[in-house]
Structure 1
Amino acid sequence: MKSIIFDVDTGIDDALAMAYALHSPELEILGFTTCFGNVAVEDATRNTLAVLEKLDRHIPVFSGAGQTLNRGEKKKYPKHVHGEDGLGNTLDFEWAPTLQASQGHAVDFIIEQVKSRPDEITIIAVGPLTNIALAIKKDPEIMSLVKEVIIMGGAVKVPGNVNPYAEANIISDPDAADLVLSSGVPVTLVGLDVTMQTCLPKSKLDEWSATGKESAQFLAEMTNYYMKAYDSSHPGLGGCALHDPLAVGVAIDSDFVSTESMNIKVVTEGEETGRTIGQPDSESRIRVCTDVDAARFVKHFLERVIRS
């Protein structure tokens, strides 16, 4: 069983990834840490607690970075993709989860856990890398103690999804991404190179709703909103890519993907800010996912995501 810290900016695909991870016995989730990204950090924390409540799970949630490493607050959130609430407008704005976030900051939780369990903890990071960068800056010793960081982010051999160069998580805090990817921490980069090869078909949402489970209906409703955004950006796809869930899939079974060892440079200035440039290097501790067995992964995801 892998010991996991799951760093999220909880929007819709984060919620799907959470459900997948929580229903996977291979993973021991020590805690969720939240960051701005799809939504403001306060909303990411609320959404994380909401998903846990809907899935009837009780795992610590630690609120983290509310702004970028060096560039202040993020100015715009992708509400057209994730909704006003970040979960496809499934939450009543007067509703608050009964679960409460844990005391303490996400960065301190990461440091404490990694130092108390050297070489045991895998961090799955599916938002901007600000919390991870802050942890490395605050206590550089953790770089040699963390087992692996699995990052959903980047677009090495394919175009970005925010502009022709950059993927959303990386461009949200390019300085943090550059710090983490140049730190020497062992990384598996699960980027658009592979996540855009995956697809959750729209037909599956009716199957989820038909189960009658409240949690399944919750996931189906929010994912339907997400798919409507895909209908605009990727007409004819008939579903949505499983970006964040694939990072979880790689944590469960690394054979879902093929990788190449590369050094990664993140562009931090100019028109191409956020671009991830890969240079093959057999000695690098960064493994970039370059291909995925999409059919096997999607089948596995569907077998897990709405388990009771």
Structure 2
Amino acid sequence: MQKMILDVDTGIDDALAIAYAVSLPTVELLGVTTTYGMAPVDYSCRNSRKILEVLGATDIPVFRGSENPLQRIREYNGKIHGTDGLGETLGPVEGPVSSSQHAVDFLIEQIYEHKKDLTIVATAPLTNLAAALTKAPEIAGMVGKVVIMGGAVMTPGNVTKFAEANIIIDPEAASIVLESGMPITLVGLDVTRKTLLTRADAQQWREKGTPASTFFAQFTEFYLDAYSTLHPYLKGCALHDPLAVGVAVYPDLVRTVPMNMKVDLEDNALGRTTEDLYRTTEPTTLVCVQVDAERFMKDFFAHVV
């Protein structure tokens, strides 16, 4: 069994990633750590718990994490994921959301416990991981694998012409993580835009008629509506975060290139992920450049809902 932690900002595609990880028989999901991103952290935490509840996986713990970027201010508009993060299906969070342990402390604890046997899949701004590295820098060389959904190395961004959302929301955190020496696989827009969920897929969930499939169809249709406005040429919505889970479990889904990565912090290219040609150390990041999209999507839809 592959021991895994998901670090999420749930988020519609994060919800799909959680469902995929829970469904895979070879994955032992040790916990879900949450942060802000597509919605405030209380929403991410509540949404993650709701997804696990719907899936009958309430034994998996959810941990509340970072509330804000390291140095910047996060503003929310709800255009893609809704103001509640799940397509206006759950509404506002009522009251503060707590957890038994802070997400950053859970990450550090689990890396110490499982070391090379642990895979972390991060599909959110990288604030939790950066905070963990700042608090316990030695964990960079202890963890088995870190798979990050983020970046746009050889393709345009989805927030600016350079930057992908998870990176630009907290570029300072992304810089810390990508330069940490952790064994990272970067699953960016270069490959995630090639994996699409369509209206026909959502309709199949709706027609299945179970509480889980109906719920998933409802929030996914919100995501599809947003994509039809912002990216009509795609004819669907990208399975960004589920692909990161897929790559963690099936590394041969993708072709990768080893690179030393950096994150631009200058205003004219803020959040750009690019190769650092001036670092002389051996690259520890594998950048995904090609994906077997058909194989991934076949496996995803065979397992989820």
Query: 1:101 Cα shift?
Result: 5.2
Task: Tell me if structure 2 keeps the 8 A contact 1:158–1:192.
Answer: yes
1:21 corresponds to = 21
Secondary structure of the 2:159 match is coil
1:69 corresponds to = 70
Query: 1:235 Cα shift?
Result: 1.3
Task: Tell me if structure 1 keeps the 8 A contact 2:30–2:61.
Answer: yes
Q: 1:11 and 1:30 mapped to 2: Cα distance?
A: 20
Task: Tell me if structure 1 keeps the 8 A contact 2:133–2:139.
Answer: yes
Q: In the alignment, does 2:159 pair up with 1:159?
A: no
2:302 corresponds to = 303
Task: Give structure 2 stretches of 5+ with no counterpart.
Answer: none
Task: Give structure 1 stretches of 5+ with no counterpart.
Answer: none
2:288 corresponds to = 289
Q: Kindly, what percent of the aligned residue pairs are identical?
A: 50
Task: Tell me if structure 2 keeps the 8 A contact 1:262–1:282.
Answer: no
Q: In the alignment, does 2:127 pair up with 1:149?
A: no
Question: After superposition, where does 1:206-225 map in structure 2 within 5 Å?
Answer: 206-225=203-222
Q: In the alignment, does 2:112 pair up with 1:115?
A: yes
1:80 corresponds to = 79
Query: 1:238 Cα shift?
Result: 2.3
Q: 2:12 and 2:61 mapped to 1: Cα distance?
A: 20
Task: Tell me if structure 2 keeps the 8 A contact 1:154–1:166.
Answer: yes
Task: Tell me if structure 1 keeps the 8 A contact 2:43–2:93.
Answer: no
2:54 corresponds to = 54
1:174/1:228 Cα in 2 relative to 1: closer, same or farther (>3 Å)?
Answer: same
Q: In the alignment, does 2:44 pair up with 1:44?
A: yes
1:2/1:94 Cα in 2 relative to 1: closer, same or farther (>3 Å)?
Answer: closer
2:187 corresponds to = 190
Q: 1:67 and 1:53 mapped to 2: Cα distance?
A: 26
1:90 corresponds to = 89
2:196 corresponds to = 199
1:173/1:240 Cα in 2 relative to 1: closer, same or farther (>3 Å)?
Answer: same
Task: Tell me if structure 1 keeps the 8 A contact 2:69–2:170.
Answer: yes
Query: 1:118 Cα shift?
Result: 1.7
Residue 176 (structure 1) aligned to one of 173, 177, 191 = 173
Query: 1:116 Cα shift?
Result: 1.3
TM-score by length of 1: 0.94
Q: In the alignment, does 2:274 pair up with 1:251?
A: no
1:141/1:153 Cα in 2 relative to 1: closer, same or farther (>3 Å)?
Answer: same
Runs of 4+ in 1 over 6 A off after TM superposition: none
Secondary structure of the 1:36 match is coil
Q: 1:9 and 1:68 mapped to 2: Cα distance?
A: 13
Query: 1:183 Cα shift?
Result: 0.6
2:259 corresponds to = 262
Q: What's the CA shift string for 1:122-141, capped at 9, x where partnerless? A: 10000000000000100111
Task: Tell me if structure 1 keeps the 8 A contact 2:259–2:283.
Answer: yes
Secondary structure of the 1:112 match is helix
